[in-house]
Structures are given as C-alpha cells and as structure tokens.
Amino acid sequence: MFDDAVLKCFLENQKQLFPENVAETEEEAEDFLEECMAVVVNSVKEVWEYFDEAGVDMEGADEEGILEADEVFDIGDGRYLIVEG
C-alpha cells in the first residue's frame, strides 16, 4: 500500500516519466504503482542500492545525478518513490 504523500507525489509529477498522465485519482495511481511494482525507499543510499541491485549502470554517477533519473520521485519527506516506466 502507498500512503497519501506517495500517491500525491506521483499524481503531481507523473509526467517526468510518462508523456501523458497514467492516473487521475489516488486510487488509479495506487493501482498503477502496484501493477508496475513501484517501491518506496527511505534514503538516497537505498535509491542507489535499488539501482545497483537492478543492474543499472551507474558508473560516473553521483547521488545528485541518480536522484535526477526520471524513475525517481522525491516524496519530500526524505523518502523516494522509484517507478520503472
């Protein structure tokens, strides 16, 4: 389950990853995030670990760069939503 802050963040910022909205309501957002197996992590370090485990080439990347990836949404409370598009 995704909390209200996560759903609001995704709804407001979904166009950073998708050319058009994939969800209009929090319910649609939650269904979509569950379908694509999105994850919420608690720190930049965990974002880094997620990409490393997924086999993403991060050579030369730094923390700031990894947070600028389209798949990473800053929830605003120290957590990050990672959505694979």
What does residue 45 show for φ and ψ, rounded to 5 degrees? -60, -40
pTM: 0.92
Is pLDDT above 80 for 85?
Answer: no
pLDDT of 27 reads 97
The domain containing residue 56 runs over which residues?
4-82
What's the number of domains the chain is made of?
1
Whether residue 85 contacts residue 38, with contact meaning beta carbons closer than 8 Å, is answered with no
Give the mean model confidence (pLDDT) for residues 13-38.
97
Give the mean model confidence (pLDDT) for residues 16-32.
97
Residue 16 token pair: 């950073």
Query: What pLDDT, in 10s, does the model give residues 50-69?
Result: 999 988 887 878 878 889 99
pLDDT of 57 reads 80
Whether residue 14 contacts residue 21, with contact meaning beta carbons closer than 8 Å, is answered with yes
Residue 14 token pair: 């979904």
pLDDT of 11 reads 98
